Amino acid sequence: AQEKFFAGIPKIQYKPDAGPGDVMCFKHYNAEEVLMGRTMEDWLRFSVCYWHSFCGPGAGPLGVPTQHRLWNKGSPMKSAKKRLCAAFEFFTKLGVKYYTFHDRDIAPEGSTLEESNRNLDEITDLALKLQNQTGVKLLWITCNLFTHLRYMNGAATNPDCHVLAYAGAQVKKGLEIAKKLGAENFVFWGGRGFHSIHNTDVAVELNHMATFFKMAVNYKEKIGLSCQFLIAPQQLEPGKHQYDYDAMSLIGFLKLCGLDSDFKLKIEPNHTTLGGHDIVMASAFGMLGSIDSNTGYPYLGWDTDQCPMDIRNTTLVMKVIVEQGGLHPGGLNFVAKVHRESTDLEDLFISHIGVMDAFARGLRNAVRIIEDGVIASMMQERYSSFSHGLGQKVENGTATLEEMEDFIKENGEPEVTSGKQEKYESVFNHYI
Amino acid sequence: AQEKFFAGIPKIQYKPDAGPGDVMCFKHYNAEEVLMGRTMEDWLRFSVCYWHSFCGPGAGPLGVPTQHRLWNKGSPMKSAKKRLCAAFEFFTKLGVKYYTFHDRDIAPEGSTLEESNRNLDEITDLALKLQNQTGVKLLWITCNLFTHLRYMNGAATNPDCHVLAYAGAQVKKGLEIAKKLGAENFVFWGGRGFHSIHNTDVAVELNHMATFFKMAVNYKEKIGLSCQFLIAPQQLEPGKHQYDYDAMSLIGFLKLCGLDSDFKLKIEPNHTTLGGHDIVMASAFGMLGSIDSNTGYPYLGWDTDQCPMDIRNTTLVMKVIVEQGGLHPGGLNFVAKVHRESTDLEDLFISHIGVMDAFARGLRNAVRIIEDGVIASMMQERYSSFSHGLGQKVENGTATLEEMEDFIKENGEPEVTSGKQEKYESVFNHYI
Amino acid sequence: AQEKFFAGIPKIQYKPDAGPGDVMCFKHYNAEEVLMGRTMEDWLRFSVCYWHSFCGPGAGPLGVPTQHRLWNKGSPMKSAKKRLCAAFEFFTKLGVKYYTFHDRDIAPEGSTLEESNRNLDEITDLALKLQNQTGVKLLWITCNLFTHLRYMNGAATNPDCHVLAYAGAQVKKGLEIAKKLGAENFVFWGGRGFHSIHNTDVAVELNHMATFFKMAVNYKEKIGLSCQFLIAPQQLEPGKHQYDYDAMSLIGFLKLCGLDSDFKLKIEPNHTTLGGHDIVMASAFGMLGSIDSNTGYPYLGWDTDQCPMDIRNTTLVMKVIVEQGGLHPGGLNFVAKVHRESTDLEDLFISHIGVMDAFARGLRNAVRIIEDGVIASMMQERYSSFSHGLGQKVENGTATLEEMEDFIKENGEPEVTSGKQEKYESVFNHYI
Amino acid sequence: AQEKFFAGIPKIQYKPDAGPGDVMCFKHYNAEEVLMGRTMEDWLRFSVCYWHSFCGPGAGPLGVPTQHRLWNKGSPMKSAKKRLCAAFEFFTKLGVKYYTFHDRDIAPEGSTLEESNRNLDEITDLALKLQNQTGVKLLWITCNLFTHLRYMNGAATNPDCHVLAYAGAQVKKGLEIAKKLGAENFVFWGGRGFHSIHNTDVAVELNHMATFFKMAVNYKEKIGLSCQFLIAPQQLEPGKHQYDYDAMSLIGFLKLCGLDSDFKLKIEPNHTTLGGHDIVMASAFGMLGSIDSNTGYPYLGWDTDQCPMDIRNTTLVMKVIVEQGGLHPGGLNFVAKVHRESTDLEDLFISHIGVMDAFARGLRNAVRIIEDGVIASMMQERYSSFSHGLGQKVENGTATLEEMEDFIKENGEPEVTSGKQEKYESVFNHYI
């Protein structure tokens, strides 16, 4: 019989009428309920993040690990297997259908590349078996090219080609594992950035990064891997200067390298103080591929990866997602960890349930906003001057400055039109 | 005889041995002195900013204007002419060879476009005459598409096409004036951005912005205007969300619109908390066209446009400029104003002299760093693995992931190499 | 017959069932409804801010005024009277019982102190009449010691005693007006702070500020003015360095000067990035006197004074207020202005209604949280070890380090106790 | 013979003429040189920080330790002794006369308090011996009340009295060790703050903190420990909300608890974005006791504790120190670590030398500024109106509002006086 890690905890139920103190059930997330033609599960595509929830020990900038779990016992490989079993028990009890991991989360790094690869092979055999048993699927996989000592000066942007080669070898294996486990996406992180302009040749490093991405695209094609490539902008951490600050800068970089049709963006609000801004911008350019849902404290500069529970934010995010027709093959991955001080095993459940309910409320709100159409018709009216005449020419890109001048000479000063932001906010508040 | 606005103040001299309290002479800036084959004047290409120094009244977020100047008297047109004469007297006494302005700084806005254009014609006749008399040239001109009430919801991104048309008509005239006055550059600002995602259609607005820039490029060609187009990223103000956050995002936008060969960037450190970062990134992509030299307080979110006097910063900026071979046809424009509380007329001189000396010191330091070559050879050593073998293939973009894996299987773990940031900083400090 | 400024707008009604697009009625604020023994009106003590809503013209850091109102016509005194009538029409239609102003908002500054005082006398005669007619009362009055040119280097902290004397004379008159109009509070702002440590003697300036406050306390007693004195910490603007950064630093300053029993704090969340933090801290020390309810954008450094519509925040604020038993004689003053682009007259109503509804929802939520007691009993349990034994001695301040050591030698390592932040957040979300 | 950890490195020499690439000598710090009546060594009172330089392994938010030192080998106690010997070798070769440590840096924590105390006893016997051999002294000692799991919810502010008792027992031992080693100061950190207002009773926790400090004061007196108590404000980390945000708030807290004569402040610029502000404020109130000299990146929210090498900053700091007559018995402690990527052993020396030279330059600049007196006389002139008449009454606290009004009625509007910030900055730049 399989070891039970969450022995007293049953499958989490939907109980819309539960009381304030009952935090071990869903009050809003009802997986099979259909909204605008799709189930909540399908709109939300929740995914549990393996490292924060199963490998993260609760260490802090000024403190040792606090979260001691039963699965962290035994030799590295033995404990890796127990951890994986615990995770699938958790996914199943929580009712989440996707998970995500870094290569080094799921299997311990060996003393050589070959040993690391063998470890990965062995552990992913078990993962494949558990996936098949439970129906849980792999939203995405990524390679950890930052924790190990060798990557302290970067991976694809390292000044030493030997390190870049190591990263390349690791990504090659990662792509093979993605194929083996049927990953729906493969993620590249935004990169380490750099600390000091004194010792960094920016142009050289970005050239190397472009080469690196192209090699990955080539190898993906070679092995017939059909998943979507994702890349994440990162405004803060770990370097002082990040190469890919926000959605727009990353789209620009991809375009410059001719890689813009090979990648979509994965946005992690807590990596960018721009928050929702990046989700909106990426979606506007047709580049929003997936979301790592977490939150941070404004004014705290570091990456706290907290559980996002603010209904206003989840409503805004879900509105963008529904408007663009969903996130497939991406999803809402919980790159969020319980607070360092939340040491009870049940806190893992409480936090995930809290976030899932917050997004379920956000989805319900967004659907009501879209179905009512009040805001949409206010917007349509606002931009209506571009549907005819000179406006249409601007829309089509065929207008000229001379026509503009003629128009003004004929029509004079435009009328003042209120932006009505408070009205939009009031209407929005109606749905919160 | 021409009215004198700075009666007691003679032409500012270079006095390298002046004492601490003597702030009305250059102690470092020696225009004709040659460094690395060019005069200081030619490396630095200083430009006085007309609006901050001659139109700016010292208003603050919580206070009325404080700086009452003699030239602000009489009817708008009369005072515009006095202001222009005062400015040329200032340029000449200070020994600066360039200036910059917005259309609405130099000539008052009329009640119709036609009247505004006539005002511009009349005042720029005088400007042309003063340019010819003094040899002072126009570094760049730009259109003010933000102050007037009509632009409160944006110019090229306004939801009302009538306003966009007004902006287009204004830019048409601006380009004509640029031709008349021999402007070496024409500047577009980064845009107003937006406050609220609730009432904004980002994709539509960016499409309009792209059309707007293309119309300007077309008209520039049509009238045979040969100056360089510049565009400025703007991280903060006046909208909550800026469309063009940093150098990289703006390069990306230009590339997406097919405009990247028509524009270079103008970087204003105080508009981006990234400061030097944007200058370095723009230069690395061959897109650094001009610099608006000013500074702000870190942690103060608004745009204080202060005089940059930190020698460390001016050294870093000048190092980038010298390394890319200068800024032509761009320059170092002082988008900096005296503090609101600096109400004496002499404060205008003291502040400009302070900044010019700070950049002169920065230039001297940068030249010594480059001529000594100590830092350059540390850098060369740092990236040396890319000059041969697998590294060279990465450099050329011809490497594959399979070669990477083979390399690691053969060579194993890379050596740990110190980044030596403190050593770089210590060497750099030697030159400050 | 009195001129009507809001002709088409009737008294705002409570319509709990109104639809999403209906923004000209209250859906949540029901003035006479009783919660926990008091009416909503009494808990909330709303107050309209005269300057933002009636004097504020919609100017921005890069733009001219946008809001042209009918009452801004005629000579300064004539327009001041029209403005006051418009305001009382607005208060009455909105159903708000308090207002607040600066001396220079309500009556124009004259060319001498005597003239300014006469203007104040004349206008406040009208204010008194309107107060009596409508039953609207004055929550607080304050003196504007920052806008005028003379205060550019500070008021009570000005390096020139002549300016400090002017500020003193102005405050003397302000206190007399407070008495005349029955103001329930008198406010002092946190001060201009300073820009540069190079030209500032901090110790001297703080000594002058303390003297200034003491003079005001003395004169208040002398004229038998019985209102509460309030003072506001100010983290940002207009100086780089603020003297009174947050609630705790201001409490400390008052204590150091022996003024802590003469003042309470007025907290304005948008003046401190600490937001709710300062409200909690001030309340914990028994020093929370009044709240200026507004909000800003995180990451925007300047003071946008926006309308606070986030229900999560209003709930947190109302929870503190209800827990301390209300704000009397303070209130919730709307130091919030419509966006610069919100130029319609109705936007004034829409914004105030939106904020009032947001606080009404916050109050309802807070009352449910407090009446349910779930969070309170979780808290009581959390701190229960201080109710007996060694804990009680700590509570009383009688414990010693030796007792601590003995306790540990006897009892060893403490148990690990989860902080359960996500559980608290989930329970809190239940009420939002 | 004693093991040598820095075998190839000789005692660092003063070589004012060394070249740019020579970073293993002092070019500015000349310990015995006398400035304004004291040696540089005595003005600067440098101290090496044991944890950052000898215990810090180079771990980062996203990376494992990078700095593998010879002294980190063997059992915990054996390695603790090697580490201490290495440190004293380093102090001596560097020529620094002070060091600082936390109890848990110098001796490993045992499984019980008793074992931890025995470890401390054994290691501090060695420390005492090494102090006597080398003449190096202990600037200050502090207790680590944050790293261990038990302190995750705070120490003196923990909701569980058992934890508070543990912290008390640990401080008792710390005070005894301070006496044994002749520490010149004893430091309390600003505290963990809190993450969530939902689960925190601020008033209760601050009461406990006050009790805790009083117990320490009592025990200090009881054992006849004569060192100075220091406490440090902490703006960021590890909690979202800090209790002691800045110098002023901490002074206020001490005053409220009646502890202001028992403590002085230790300011760590990188803990407060206010940077120099806090040093100036603490000094103005006569409360500046010691400085932890480090720096961070503006806009990076976390505590990077970098080496401060900016001459402008060191000049400002040294000017405050010289003006208040020095820091005795405090000092300039290097709470700065080499970057994670600086893995060479020599980087430890390079970084300390770089900082010492930067402060030596700051000291030389500050002395020239003070001896020249140009800035001082500009300041004296600026505040001169407070030396007579009404100004003197303000200075003495005897003025009244009525006198102010009379003064203005007689003298009218004050003259406008320029703040001349740019002039001050230009003069300051002369000395940099």
Question: Active-site residue among D28, D52, D102, D271?
Answer: D102
| Minimal CA separation from D279 to chain C, in Å | 11
- Is the pLDDT assigned to residue B3 strictly greater than 90? no
Cβ-in-10-Å burial (0-12, 13-18, 19+) of A306 comes to buried
Q: What is the pLDDT of residue C242?
A: 72
Share of chain D above pLDDT 70, in %: 92
Question: Active-site residue among A28, A102, A271, A352?
Answer: A102
Task: Give me the residue spans of the domains in chain D.
Answer: 34-372, 390-431
Q: What is the pLDDT of residue A300?
A: 55
Share of chain B above pLDDT 90, in %: 77
Lowest mean pLDDT among A129-143, A241-255, C198-212: A241-255
- Is the pLDDT assigned to residue C120 strictly greater than 60? yes
Residue B249: pLDDT band (50, 70, 90) is confident
The model's pLDDT over B314-338, given as tens digits with 9 standing for 90+, comes to 999 999 999 999 999 999 998 888 8
Contact C205, C157 (CB under 8 A): yes
- Is the pLDDT assigned to residue C296 strictly greater than 80? no
* Rounded CA separation D396/C368 (Å): 53
Contact B425 D20 (CB under 8 A): no
Chain A residue at shortest CA distance from D306? A195
Contact C66 B149 (CB under 8 A): yes
Mean pLDDT to the nearest integer, A29-52: 97
- Is the pLDDT assigned to residue B90 strictly greater than 80? yes
Phi, psi angle pair for B276, to nearest 5°: -55, -30
| Minimal CA separation from D378 to chain B, in Å | 10
Instruction: Give the three-state DSSP class for A16.
Output: coil
Contact A424 B199 (CB under 8 A): yes
Residues in chain B, how many? Answer: 432
With contacts defined as CB-CB under 8 Å, which chain C residues touch D248? 243-245, 248-249, 252-253
**Token representation of residue A412:** 């004079």
Lowest mean pLDDT among A366-375, C347-356, D61-70: D61-70
Q: What is the pLDDT of residue B273?
A: 42
Cα atoms in the 13 Å half-sphere on the side-chain side of D316: 20
Lowest mean pLDDT among B62-76, B121-135, B153-167, D174-188: B62-76
Q: What is the pLDDT of residue A273?
A: 43
- Is the pLDDT assigned to residue D414 strictly greater than 90? yes
With contacts defined as CB-CB under 8 Å, which chain A residues touch D302? 61, 301-302
The model's pLDDT over C192-231, given as tens digits with 9 standing for 90+, comes to 777 888 899 989 999 999 999 999 999 999 999 999 999 9
Best probe of the D interface among A143, A149, A153, A274, by most D CBs < 10 A, is A149
H runs (alpha helix) in C103-160: 103-106, 113-134
Q: What is the pLDDT of residue D165?
A: 97
Of D351, D372, D425, the CB nearest to B354: D425
Contact A310 C311 (CB under 8 A): no
Question: Active-site residue among C28, C52, C68, C102?
Answer: C102
Best probe of the B interface among D28, D348, D429, D431, by most B CBs < 10 A, is D429
Closest CA to A171 of A212, A131, A210: A212
Task: Please name the amino acid found at residue B183.
Answer: A
- Is the pLDDT assigned to residue D101 strictly greater than 60? yes
Cβ-in-10-Å burial (0-12, 13-18, 19+) of C188 comes to buried
Residue B236: pLDDT band (50, 70, 90) is low
**Token representation of residue A155:** 């991976």
Share of chain B above pLDDT 70, in %: 92
Mean pLDDT to the nearest integer, D383-395: 96
The model's pLDDT over A175-217, given as tens digits with 9 standing for 90+, comes to 999 999 999 999 998 667 778 888 999 899 999 999 999 999 9
For chains B and C, count residue pairs whose Cβ atoms are closer than 8 Å.
77
The model's pLDDT over B366-415, given as tens digits with 9 standing for 90+, comes to 999 999 999 999 999 999 999 999 999 999 999 999 999 999 999 999 99
Of A299, A374, A417, the CB nearest to C20: A374
Chain C residue at shortest CA distance from D392? C161
Best probe of the C interface among B152, B194, B337, B338, by most C CBs < 10 A, is B152
Contact C378 D249 (CB under 8 A): no
Chain C residue at shortest CA distance from D156? C394
Lowest mean pLDDT among B266-280, C333-347, D335-349: B266-280
- Is the pLDDT assigned to residue B164 strictly greater than 90? yes
* Rounded CA separation C408/C400 (Å): 13
Residue B64: pLDDT band (50, 70, 90) is confident
- Is the pLDDT assigned to residue B274 strictly greater than 60? no
Residue B240: pLDDT band (50, 70, 90) is low
With contacts defined as CB-CB under 8 Å, which chain A residues touch D153? 341
Calculate the alpha carbon distances from D191 to D105, D157, D209 in Å: 18, 8, 9
Instruction: Give the three-state DSSP class for A169.
Output: helix
Of A64, A148, A301, the CB nearest to D302: A301
Contact C40, C32 (CB under 8 A): yes
Buried-exposed string D78-105: b where 16+ CB fall within 10 A, e elsewhere: ebbbbbbbbbbbbbbebbbbbbbbbbbb
Contact A18, A7 (CB under 8 A): no
Calculate the alpha carbon distances from B275 to A61, B269, B292, C199 in Å: 27, 4, 11, 26
Q: What is the enclosing helix (H) or strand (E) of D137?
A: strand D137-142
- Is the pLDDT assigned to residue A69 strictly greater than 70? yes
Name chain A's partners: 3 or more CB pairs within 8 A. B, C, D
Residue C269: pLDDT band (50, 70, 90) is low
Contact C153 B341 (CB under 8 A): yes
Q: What is the pLDDT of residue C1?
A: 45
Q: Strand D38-39 to strand D34-35: parallel, antiparallel, or no bridges (unpaired)?
A: antiparallel
- Is the pLDDT assigned to residue D22 strictly greater than 70? yes
The model's pLDDT over C148-184, given as tens digits with 9 standing for 90+, comes to 999 999 999 999 999 999 999 999 999 999 999 999 9
Lowest mean pLDDT among A203-217, A232-246, B169-183, B338-352: A232-246
- Is the pLDDT assigned to residue A328 strictly greater than 80? yes
Cβ-in-10-Å burial (0-12, 13-18, 19+) of A362 comes to buried
The model's pLDDT over D198-228, given as tens digits with 9 standing for 90+, comes to 899 989 999 999 999 999 999 999 999 999 9
H runs (alpha helix) in B187-323: 202-222, 247-256, 276-284, 311-323
Contact D350, D26 (CB under 8 A): no
Give the active site residues of B: 102
The model's pLDDT over B209-226, given as tens digits with 9 standing for 90+, comes to 999 999 999 999 999 999
Contact C422 A339 (CB under 8 A): yes
**Token representation of residue D131:** 């102090």
Residue C338: pLDDT band (50, 70, 90) is confident
Contact C339 B238 (CB under 8 A): no
With contacts defined as CB-CB under 8 Å, which chain D residues touch C255? 252, 255-256
First to last CA, chain A: 46
**Token representation of residue D272:** 């407060």
- Residue B270 DSSP one-character state: G
Give the orientation angle of helix B421-431 with respect to helix B374-382, to 10 degrees: 160
Q: Alpha carbon A390 to chain centroid distance?
A: 41
| Averaged pLDDT score across all residues of chain A | 92
* Rounded CA separation C56/C68 (Å): 10
- Which residues neighbour B75 within 8 Å (Cβ) at sequence distance 6 or greater? none
Q: How many CB atoms lie within 10 A of CB D64?
A: 15
Contact B339 D426 (CB under 8 A): no
- Is the pLDDT assigned to residue B275 strictly greater than 50? no
User: What CATH code would you report for D34-372?
Assistant: 3.20.20.150
Tell me, yes or no, if A328 is annotated catalytic. Answer: no
Best probe of the A interface among C29, C299, C357, C429, by most A CBs < 10 A, is C429
Q: Alpha carbon A171 to chain centroid distance?
A: 19
* Rounded CA separation A152/A167 (Å): 12
Give the orientation angle of helix D202-222 with respect to helix D247-256, to 10 degrees: 70
- Is the pLDDT assigned to residue A146 strictly greater than 50? yes
Mean pLDDT to the nearest integer, C15-33: 97
* Rounded CA separation D10/C399 (Å): 52
ipTM above 0.90, yes or no: yes
* Rounded CA separation C210/A385 (Å): 59
